[in-house]
Amino acid sequence: MKLKGRIALVTGASRGIGRAISEVLAAEGAAVAVNYRSGKDKAEQVVKEITAAGGRAVALPGDVADYAQAKSLVEQTVKELGGLHILINNAGIAKDGLIFNLEPEDWLSVMRVNFGGVFNCTKAVMGHFMAQRDGVIVNVSSVMGERGWIGESNYAASKGAVNAFTRCCAMELARFGVRINAVLPGFSPTELVAGLTQKDGGKGIKKQIPMRDFGKVEEIARVTVFLAGPDSSYMTGTLVPVDGGASTALGLGTSL
């Protein structure tokens, strides 16, 4: 187990990609703080499954869009699990719509969670990582942050901010022995993007993916955990797409 003795905090970990990441981290030996905002029962179920398999985990509440709560979340992780070495910024929301129809709150709320959560948790953990000169941050972004898609302007903008922040943060923290990378999922059938992947059974989107299928959350989780582990020790400031080749192709996407 490559992460034995390491302690990880995963935001938005009660379902979807965050849940899968928590499970893969635990399988590699890490103790995991499973963060949730409203899905307490689901988060506790993740913890139950990890502990039943011989791992160590706790469920911790917190809205990462609020800096005070993000700071408390980091402090609670250290208190409950005895330290912190890995931060996975995964929490995110979507409010899709054509730009003409979006209200100011539709982009601001998405930005608060998707980018604000990354900023808040990163800032909250920086002092701890810098002091121990050891730490890894993996931001779960999206290929939407690097490409365009109809109806996704607010979501894409928030992920573009995450990508830019990842690069800048990596430059600032490299001298402290802290690495920051991002994983960029393509289309994965989670609740967050159900409006896209369930339309016409997903056939329209799958035709635009060279591998002709959606990504499984476990596939995204394994790349995320690779970036969090020792095998990626010379990687920082890197954006890694996990999208079945979608971002290599020309195409015109539509979701609405």
Task: Show which residues are catalytic.
Answer: 155
Determine contact, residues 94/192, Cβ cutoff 8 Å. Answer: yes
- Which is nearest to 25 in space by CA: 73, 65, 84? 84
Residue 207 in tokens: 């035709």
Determine contact, residues 206/243, Cβ cutoff 8 Å. Answer: no
Backbone angles phi, psi at 241, to 5 degrees: -70, 140
CA distance 103 to 211: 36
DSSP labels for 124-165?
HHHHHHHHHT-EEEEEE--GGGTS--TT-HHHHHHHHHHHHH
Residue 160 in tokens: 């573009």
Angle (CA) 237 7 9, round 5°:
65
Local structure of residue 15 (DSSP, 8 states): S
